[in-house]
Chain A
Amino acid sequence: MSSEQLQADQVPTKAVTAYKVRNMAFFYGTKKALDNISVDLPAKSVTAIIGPSGCGKSTFIKALNRIAEAETKVRIDGQIELFGQNIYDPKVNITRLRRRVGMVFQRPNPFPMTIYDNITYGPRVFGFKGNYDEIVETSLRRAALWNEVKDKVKTSALGLSGGQQQRLCIARSLAVNPDVLLMDEPCSALDPIATLRIEELIETLRDQFTIIIVTHNMQQAGRVSQNTLFFNTDESRIGQLVENGPTKEIFFSPKDKRTEDYISGRFG
């Protein structure tokens, strides 16, 4: 059974909500970084998160796979549900959550091992018994990297270019067949051509995965996303969700003055 088929069986169809966030507040130690966030993130589509630097975009998506707590002491109030399950419920097993929610970071972070081993890392950790070669090929194809690396999958991943490394990291996440793919400014360390590649890739992944992407690039948000979240901060330095909705509306008829200012400023 190919992973594509598996995928198809499980797809929650149109307009299903992947994440339901309610009254969420986020604290680094005692410092509040996000307050009063309530939003639904639809499944099987791309949601972009935009906003000025320091407004809590990374913080927000790091709360979605609970990776924030691996870095420092954090506290989350309110609720975040993934397909109806509160992910901060004490019963939730964090490794199972992260297996369903892949993450791609700002800087490519391939492990210092072969391309092959990078891809099979997740499956190996989970004790997957099956055809690893197939996983490697499928994942690399999905990440549009197969043609470039098919002859050197047994060489070190560190030998790839930055853009290739980032696609490898995407492939690595896809190898465990997640429901959700979080991306924190995945193109900010890449050149325009590599960026274009990743955008095309996101396009093809859109109807198989729930993709949530943080970006500073308005054009990119406009090109790849169906929905957009605009975060902002005021003097309190606490991040808030100012506005969210279909990307077209946010871009062309924002309801909030701050959204309009930010977007026109960024396009200007």
Chain B
Amino acid sequence: MTTSLRPEQPVSDDLTSPLEPGRALFTTSMTTLSVVFTFFAIIPLFSVLIYVLIQGFTSLSPDIFTKLPAPAGTPGGGFGNAIQGTLLMVGIAALISVPFGVLSGIFLSEYARDDRGIIEVIRFGVNVLAGVPSIVIGVFAYGVVVLSTKTFSAYAGGFALAILMLPIIVRTTEEALKLVPWELRLGSLGLGADRFNTTARVIVPAALPGIITGVMLAVSRAAGETAPLLFTALFSQYWIDKVGQPTASLAVLIFNYATTPYADLQRKAWGASLLLLILVLAISIISRYVFRRRF
């Protein structure tokens, strides 16, 4: 179109003439497209939230927390055992993953200066671990725990969830520690405290709210995970009487009930989803507030 580099018209005519049609079209179409895209991305979010809220809310009742599942087809009953199971397995998972995760996080944050090489390797490994599909983690837990104990159990489920939580705890701990002002370290080191004392007495206490938030975030993610529990903890219709037996969980309950033809069970799936969603979203929002970035 343009063959000369300087517009021929006088300055005032040139400045007030509109953008070339092609460029104007490009601008409008791209802007429209990105508005539409953003809109499309937000629709599913709202749709999921609204459905879970409406469907889940109508199915909530005190029975849900206190009763066992009713036999398929008969109304009533609850899923107290699934809530119990989720709490138990997430608890086991936290017992395993919190010590390893927090200690690793401390290493990554506080020893970063003198151990560059190994820190890079570990951070790389943690990120890759975070990308391992949760179903593969379930397969691993099956191979390690189920095959050797010869039974599905809360241990196996808890073990799988622990591995899932590890990378989240490591990263959030590291981040929480990094949010502690640098002067605090200098202050403590300057008083003659060694690094371990500085870390244990000053830095970790200062970062504790962040570390706890990170653990909660990991717990909420684990509570929503289904795939690693399907063939480690399996499911159960009964209250838990010992840890070494198949155990119900909210997440597996949603999967099992969603795929049945019974309306009553489907309603319970929505109810369980609502519980999980409230947990997960509340903790995500808190953690966003604490860390000001996403995990």
Contacts and interface: CB of A to CB of B under 8 A. Distances in A.
Nearest to A90: B16
A93 B19 contact: yes
Contacts, number: 66
Contact of A129 (B2, B12, B20): B2
A7 B8 CA distance: 11
Given A82-B15, A85-B15, A89-B16, A96 B5 contact: no
Interface stretch (A120-128, A182-190, A247-255): A120-128
A135 B3 CA distance: 12
Given A100-B7, A130-B5, 13 more contacts: A84-B12, A85-B12, A87-B15, A89-B16, A93-B19, A100-B15, A126-B2, A126-B20, A127-B1, A127-B20, A127-B22, A130-B3, A130-B4
B20 A6 contact: no
Nearest to B13: A85
A129 B16 contact: no
A126 B10 CA distance: 18
B173 to A, nearest CB: 35
A96 B10 CA distance: 12
A99 B15 CA distance: 10
Contacts of B15: 82, 85, 87, 92-93, 96-97, 100
5 contacts: A83-B12, A85-B12, A87-B15, A126-B20, A129-B1
Interface of A: 1, 3, 6-7, 10, 82-85, 87, 89, 91-93, 95-97, 99-100, 123, 126-130, 135, 175-177, 179
Contacts of A130: 3-5
Contacts of A129: 1-3
A135 B10 CA distance: 23
B6 interface: yes
Contact of B11 (A128, A135, A177, A179): A179
Interface string B75-105: 0000000000000000000000000000000
A123 B7 CA distance: 12
A128 B14 contact: no
B44 interface: no
Interface of B is mostly: loop
A84 B11 contact: yes
Nearest to B1: A127
Given A93-B19, A95-B19, A85 B1 contact: no
B12 A93 contact: no
Nearest to A135: B5
Instruction: Kindly state the interface size class of chain B when it binds its partner.
Output: 10 to 19
A10 B6 CA distance: 9
Contact of A6 (B4, B12, B16, B19): B4
B34 interface: no
B192 interface: no
A96 B6 contact: no
B62 interface: no
Contacts of A177: 5-6
Contacts of A89: 16
A128 B12 contact: no
A12 to B, nearest CB: 9
A123 B11 contact: no
Contacts of B23: 95, 127
B11 A83 contact: yes
A100 B14 contact: yes
B18 interface: yes
Interface in B156-179: none
Contacts of B2: 126-129
B32 interface: no
Q: Which 10 A-B pairs have the closest CB atoms?
A: A85-B12, A83-B11, A91-B16, A177-B5, A177-B6, A127-B1, A92-B15, A85-B15, A128-B2, A96-B15
B148 interface: no
Contacts of A82: 11, 15
A93 B18 contact: yes
Contacts of A176: 5-6
B17 interface: yes
Nearest to A176: B5
Contacts of A84: 11-12
Nearest to A7: B6
B11 A6 contact: no
Nearest to A3: B5
B189 to A, nearest CB: 36
Contacts of B12: 83-85
A7 B6 CA distance: 8
Contacts of A83: 10-12
Interface in B1-54: 1-7, 10-12, 14-20, 22-23
A83 B11 CA distance: 7
A3 B5 CA distance: 8
Contacts of B11: 82-85, 100, 179
A93 B5 contact: no
Contacts of B14: 96, 100
B26 to A, nearest CB: 11
B185 to A, nearest CB: 32
